[in-house]
A and B are shown apart, each in its own frame.
Chain A
Amino acid sequence: MGTTRTRKAPPAEVDRKAARVAEENYFERLTANMNLTAGLFDPLTNRTYDSSPRNRVTKAVDDRSSEVKSLIKRFAERDLMRAYEEMPKNETVLYEIVHKELLGRPSVRVVVAGAAFSPVEDLVRSGASRTRIPASELIRVKDQIVRSDHVFYYVNAFATTSWEEDARRVLVGNNYVISLSDVFQGAWRTYYAPDPRWRAAARIFDLSSEEEKVEAVRRWVTRHTFELLMDELTEDTVFDALGYAIPIIREAFEQIAAEDRYVRFDTTARPYRLTRVYG
Chain B
Amino acid sequence: MKDNPVLRVVTKITIPIILLFAMYVQFHGDYGPGGGFQAGVIFAAAFILYGLVFGTSAVRRVVSPGILRLLTALGLLLFAGVGILTMLLGGDYLDYNTLGQDPLHGQHLGIFLVELGVGITVAAVMITVFLAFAGRRD
**Co-complex (A, B):** no
